[in-house]
Amino acid sequence: LVDHRWLSPWGVLRLCDCLLRGVAQVVFVNNPLSGFLILIGLFLADVTVGGATVFCIIIAFFVAKVLLDLPDGQISAGLPLFSPVLVGSVTASLFTPFFNSPITPAVWGYMGVAAVFSVCVFAGLSHLLASHNLPAYTLPFNIATSLIFLGMRGAGYGASPTVDTATDLPPATDSPAFDGLENASLVTPDDLVHVEWDKVCLGMLLSSGQVWAVESVACSALVGVAMLLFSPLLTAACFVGGAIGTLTALVVSEGPYAAAYAGVWGYNGFLAGGAMLFFVVASPRVLVLAVVNALLATFIQAAVVPVFGQNNLPVFTFPFCLASLLLLAAVSSSSSFHRVASPSFPE
Amino acid sequence: LVDHRWLSPWGVLRLCDCLLRGVAQVVFVNNPLSGFLILIGLFLADVTVGGATVFCIIIAFFVAKVLLDLPDGQISAGLPLFSPVLVGSVTASLFTPFFNSPITPAVWGYMGVAAVFSVCVFAGLSHLLASHNLPAYTLPFNIATSLIFLGMRGAGYGASPTVDTATDLPPATDSPAFDGLENASLVTPDDLVHVEWDKVCLGMLLSSGQVWAVESVACSALVGVAMLLFSPLLTAACFVGGAIGTLTALVVSEGPYAAAYAGVWGYNGFLAGGAMLFFVVASPRVLVLAVVNALLATFIQAAVVPVFGQNNLPVFTFPFCLASLLLLAAVSSSSSFHRVASPSFPE
Amino acid sequence: LVDHRWLSPWGVLRLCDCLLRGVAQVVFVNNPLSGFLILIGLFLADVTVGGATVFCIIIAFFVAKVLLDLPDGQISAGLPLFSPVLVGSVTASLFTPFFNSPITPAVWGYMGVAAVFSVCVFAGLSHLLASHNLPAYTLPFNIATSLIFLGMRGAGYGASPTVDTATDLPPATDSPAFDGLENASLVTPDDLVHVEWDKVCLGMLLSSGQVWAVESVACSALVGVAMLLFSPLLTAACFVGGAIGTLTALVVSEGPYAAAYAGVWGYNGFLAGGAMLFFVVASPRVLVLAVVNALLATFIQAAVVPVFGQNNLPVFTFPFCLASLLLLAAVSSSSSFHRVASPSFPE
């Protein structure tokens, strides 16, 4: 398909191929079919989320192709497009709980601006990090979405009539950490008794959907299937990472663990687990490192949730990016590991 | 002039040439005459500001030449000197509104320390960023001035008798963003009606003076003339950037827009617009990117104003630096753009 | 000793050699005897602190050797091990004052996790900074310890029954900066009269122990002796740096200066002074730069104390790391300085 020119009759097909690969690249999958399954999952979970995703990825494609003229190989693999995918899905699904207001046309405008930013930031960061042989992961998405969330708040969105914005944040996201500051009792064995293990398992599954900020069993299952199509080993690493993240949450947060049950503590571990296996040739040591990476990402998440909370901002996937950048750089400094020459699938 | 040695009779003349170029380098202008006009503008606006500028630039010259022994080419072009220029003018003009107290001799001492720091930080960051072929912009100024502002606050300056420091900050700087958090109403078409467009135009003009933190029509006009002498294209890019910044402010902040009318929302866009044209060979695409850069800088400004406000700190030109670093790096990753080999003027 | 293999009978001896060098590397000393003296000092000051140090360094050794397989030369010199040393000693000595609770077995668990993180982060940052020819200093320790402190707070540790956690922080650490915000009077000559110069001198001495977060005259003296064994010039630079830091504290903080008397304002200057002399060939200019570096580190400390305080976090040695990275990079950009080819001791 890559042999056909963009302006030939095959162009539309190739465009779709690109965009679907972009959707799948979020979880390191370079495969249009997987992208298609995941996109269905997003629409199933919430039509607005699916629509926002499509809206942002189309804008991003034109910025990458027409304005910045990025290398064709990058665009065909969907690399500049996965950050805008997340901009769309995460903004659409977190806007209402965070700002207590419906999505207006102006919000779509902000979203479009963020999609443009994320492609530019991707190009910039990729260039900088390439000299260290590191990928930019989802940092462009994190930066662009943080900017528009703070910009929208500056413009007066989400200012509730009573000034208690900080207290009625969605419990699914950072309430446990805040509770931790207010709750007087130390962690006692008693607290641990109250962990509902069936919900914890559900949380591990939901982690995969939470990568797109979607809490839906159907979507999470479709993501799982889509990843299995591409690489069972990568899928296993991701889900193990998600499980580790969710379990770690029980150690670094306090009850009632609603966020852990919703998968919110798992998605950074999910991505972190996959990132190690995707970029490094698999070996037993790498598996241990993938576990350490998932653990580190979850600790970083616990550390930055209250910091970001001061500005009413979710943590997005900053924790995953920081942990994976550090560990991937660590791997490069040792001769016992081999970076994958051209990342495709671990098997 | 460069042929004469520093210690020959020509030394004094050459020193003046250097210092004036340093003043002009703030807006990418490498020309002593322009520097002279801008310095007159600063003295016209406020004699203390002009004096602080001269004080800091002389200290900076000796640090760069005698202590660090930086390459002669850099010093002759005034590159290590423009950050100290900003340290002087910005500290002198923002100290009184931010600390509610007059400038004492001790403040001049802090200012001198900051000038020394800014030259050292310039040398450090230039070296680090040079490996990515990026300039340090005004980051050294931002870092040095942030340090002394926080240091002075730690030493008890500006602690008002009543503890309402946070509430009576100067309205010209970050009040709109804070109002946004307190004001209950969403942005409605009604609010937009109240925009006074004549003041907005004035704000666009004042942007050029606000680069040195000076709000004065005379100074801004002199900056404009000084830049025209050097390069009309660069001047146009800067003023377009300033206009975009001021207009964007109407979208990311809430009424009554006093800051936008004073040019405070424009100076990051002003610098961001110029930075693209200065470092990249001009083309239609670059013009679009300059617009995106100005937009991105203003969004970053909206995002960091409340964050910095928690520590009672102005945002200085951090937004411009971050946006321009990212976009200049983005440009380097694409083969459609060409970096200017030896930046002089765009024509 | 380096010629013997790890698994030979000499292994245990070589292991001890490594670990003791790791303890001493915190103050740039590569010498097992010095490490032994410092370790005795830590045990003298507080048995728990000494135990935690040994606990963390053993974990770190196995992570560095078995999991990451770092180059043997690095491990023999103790480079990956000095960050875990600080993780152990600082966590053990700051946990009780910061969390108002005794050290439980769970805290030892967190400490072990932090030791693992710090080695991984060391490997990652070293690789990144090596391309700029810069060392990672103690940044890995800072990152790892910040993470577990925030993680433990998220898990509910240290939440006092009344919500006045922020007000009863240990006075030795950041109360002066907070007082600065609350205290209404400006610095007047009167305040300066109250400086107790004998306590200031004691504070300068205590600085050397505060590098490991230990406030003990015996430990500080042993550190001094241990450093003298290795290099008198380096020792002098460090203590001058500590003195500058303590004196600067009188300028950037307000009375009653309890923190300065305890050496808390001196340890960043102590390390900063030594860092310049250790990595650059000594010359009169370098001595001036070492003074500037100590000054810069203390200003950064004054600037970040209130920022970190918002999250109830001590500043660790972040100020030293930032200042030294910038100035060492500055030095590299000038031809008048020569980096030491293989850092050993300055003479």
Query: In terms of Cα–Cα distance, which of A22, A27, A14 is closest to A238?
Result: A27
**Local structure of A155: helix, strand or coil:** coil
Q: How high is the pLDDT of residue A55?
A: 92
Distances (CA, A) of A92 to A80, B281, C10: 20, 38, 63
Q: Is the pLDDT of residue C218 over 80?
A: yes
Interface of A with B in 125-154 (CB under 8 A): 125-128, 130-131, 146-148, 150-154
Listed by start position, the domains of chain A span 11-154, 169-332
Query: In terms of Cα–Cα distance, which of A215, A238, A241, A213 is closest to A225?
Result: A238
Q: How high is the pLDDT of residue A1?
A: 57
Phi, psi of B283 (to 5 degrees): -160, 165
**Who wins on pLDDT, C36 or C174?**
C36
pLDDT tens across A216-248, in order? 888 999 998 999 888 888 898 999 999 999 988
Q: Is the pLDDT of residue A184 over 70?
A: no
Q: Which chain A residues touch C101 with a CB distance below 8 Å? A: 186
Q: How high is the pLDDT of residue C1?
A: 56
Question: Averaged over C319-339, what is the pLDDT?
Answer: 82
In contact, B301 and B268? CB cutoff 8 Å: yes
Nearest chain C alpha carbon to B149: C303
Q: How high is the pLDDT of residue B7?
A: 62
Which of C131, C147, C156 faces A187 most closely, judged by CB atoms? C156
Query: How far is Cα B277 from Cα B293, in angstroms, rounded to an integer?
Result: 11
Q: Is the pLDDT of residue C178 over 60?
A: no
Q: Provide the CATH number for the domain formed by A11-154 in this structure.
A: 1.10.3430.10
pLDDT tens across A251-301, in order? 877 767 788 888 888 899 999 988 888 888 878 888 888 889 999 999 888
Mean pLDDT lowest among A40-44, B253-257, C177-181, C193-197: C177-181
Q: Which chain C residues touch B311 with a CB distance below 8 Å? A: 306-307
Q: How high is the pLDDT of residue A129?
A: 86
Contacts of C12 by beta carbon, 8 Å cutoff, 6+ apart: none
Average pLDDT, chain C: 80
Is residue C292 less than 8 Å (CB to CB) from chain B? Answer: yes
Query: How far is Cα C317 from Cα C321, in angstroms, rounded to an integer?
Result: 6
Which of B67, B150, B159 faces C184 most closely, judged by CB atoms? B159
Query: How far is Cα A13 from Cα A11, in angstroms, rounded to an integer?
Result: 5
Is residue B15 less than 8 Å (CB to CB) from chain A? Answer: no
Radius of gyration over every alpha carbon of chain A, rounded to an integer in angstroms = 20
Q: Which amino acid is at C22?
A: G
Which of C180, C184, C334 faces B123 most closely, judged by CB atoms? C334
Q: How far is CA B10 from the centre of its chain?
A: 31
Contacts of C73 by beta carbon, 8 Å cutoff, 6+ apart: none
Average pLDDT, chain A: 80
In contact, C153 and A309? CB cutoff 8 Å: no
Query: ipTM, 2 decimals?
Result: 0.77
Residue B188 buriedness (CB in 10 A; 0-12 / 13-18 / 19+): exposed
- Give chain A's largest Cα–Cα span: 67
**Who wins on pLDDT, A344 or A276?**
A276
Instruction: Give yes or no on whether A11-154 and A169-332 have one common fold.
Output: yes
Q: A181–C153: do the CB atoms touch at under 8 Å?
A: yes
pLDDT tens across C129-158, in order? 888 888 888 889 998 998 888 888 877 776
Q: How high is the pLDDT of residue A65?
A: 85
In contact, C294 and B117? CB cutoff 8 Å: no
Q: Is the pLDDT of residue C49 over 80?
A: yes
Q: Which chain C residues touch A336 with a CB distance below 8 Å? A: 68-69
Alpha-carbon distance A347 to nearest alpha carbon in chain B (angstroms): 31
Q: How high is the pLDDT of residue C184?
A: 36
Binned at pLDDT 50, 70 and 90, residue C115 comes out as very high
Contacts of C267 by beta carbon, 8 Å cutoff, 6+ apart: C207, C208, C210, C211, C242, C245, C317, C320
Q: C180–B161: do the CB atoms touch at under 8 Å?
A: no
Q: Which chain B residues touch A307 with a CB distance below 8 Å? A: none
Residue C84 buriedness (CB in 10 A; 0-12 / 13-18 / 19+): buried
Q: Is the pLDDT of residue A36 over 60?
A: yes
Which of B67, B147, B159 faces C181 most closely, judged by CB atoms? B159
Mean pLDDT lowest among A204-213, B20-29, C277-286: C277-286
Q: C302–B151: do the CB atoms touch at under 8 Å?
A: yes
**Local structure of B144: helix, strand or coil:** helix
Radius of gyration over every alpha carbon of chain C, rounded to an integer in angstroms = 20
Query: How far is Cα B322 from Cα C343, in angstroms, rounded to an integer?
Result: 35
Third-level CATH fold of A169-332: Ammonium transporter fold (1.10.3430)
Q: Which amino acid is at A11?
A: G
Neighbors of chain B by Cβ distance (3+ pairs < 8 Å)? A, C
Query: How far is Cα B110 from Cα C65, in angstroms, rounded to an integer?
Result: 48
Q: How high is the pLDDT of residue B170?
A: 38
Nearest chain C alpha carbon to A284: C67
Question: Averaged over C188-196, what is the pLDDT?
Answer: 55
Neighbors of chain C by Cβ distance (3+ pairs < 8 Å)? A, B
Nearest chain C alpha carbon to A326: C124
How confident is chain B (347 residues) per 10-residue block, as mean pLDDT?
62 85 87 90 90 91 85 84 90 86 86 90 87 85 88 72 36 37 40 70 88 88 89 89 88 76 88 87 84 90 83 86 87 73 56
